Structure 1
Amino acid sequence: MTLSSSLAYAQPTAPIRTPRMAEYEVIARITQRLVAADRRGNEDHSGLLEAVFHNEKLWSTLAADVAEPGNGLPEALRARLFYLYRFTADHSRKIRQKTADAGVLIEINKAVLKGLRGEGAAT
């Protein structure tokens, strides 16, 4: 076996990403942006609005997915995730109106991340 053929069968350096891992990465990245923007607060309101927009887009996508008849998640979990989308949309509006901060959105995302890691139910 030559060196090039043995490299072809070597272990890949990066693990294969599952759909769950990909979801986790997206939610974690958006949550990190929310945390950073929330810390900057009024110093960078446009940055906060951008982070909130991306978070709302994420939750809109999740809501559309759980609303699909073929979604394999349990019905109760689907309903809770859809409720979180509605709450997120409403709270995002309050952030745009400068009557709320992003803290609760960050906590929701962190709870979902814990659920994806298997550390507890996403509520």
Structure 2
Amino acid sequence: MTVSALARNAYDQSTRSTANPRAVERQLLARLTSAIIVTEKKRDEDLSSFIQALSKNLEFWTVVATDVVGEGNKLPSELRAQLFYLFEFTRKHTNKILNQDHQLSAEPLIEINQNILRGLQGQPEPA
């Protein structure tokens, strides 16, 4: 089973456990973001946990990207394109950290996730 299929399976199981998919997305994204924040602070001592946190975050974004390009997705096309762009950025930045520059910050990934979380909670973007 591919990473994408595993991520989708885990995501689908989570969504079935509750009546509110938006709440599940929010909870999952909050956990992923927290994991990146915590593990990045200790990346010199525990690089494998940091890599795992980044990988799980990328799995989430892969599921999002797969969903937004699907024909059955009912989000407005502009929002779908924006979410796909965020996936592309997340994928590229994560790969740079994992493959090329181990000192590169995960801060852009954290900011993306936090902005999406605010959107899922219906909060405006900070000034």
| TM-score over 0.5 (shorter chain) | yes
- Alpha-carbon RMSD across the aligned residues, in angstroms, is 1.3
- Residue type of the partner of 2:86? L
Matched, 1:115 2:123: no
Matched, 1:47 2:49: yes
Matched, 1:70 2:72: yes
Equivalent of residue 101 in structure 1, options 78, 83, 105: 105
Asked if structure 2 preserves the Cα contact closer than 8 Å seen for 1:41 and 1:48, the reply is: yes
Corresponding residue SS for 2:44: helix
Corresponding residue SS for 1:41: coil
Q: How many pairs align?
A: 106
Runs (5+) with no aligned partner, structure 1:
1-15
Whole-angstrom CA distance in 2 between matches of 1:92 and 1:26: 18
Whole-angstrom CA distance in 1 between matches of 2:69 and 2:63: 10
Runs (5+) with no aligned partner, structure 2:
1-17
Larger of the two Rg values belongs to structure? 1
Deviation per CA, 1:74-116: give whole Å up to 9, x if none: 1111000000000000000111121512111011000000000
Q: TM-score, normalised by structure 1?
A: 0.81
Matched residue, 1:81: 83
Matched residue, 1:8: none
Whole-angstrom CA distance in 1 between matches of 2:26 and 2:52: 20
Q: TM-score, normalised by structure 2?
A: 0.79
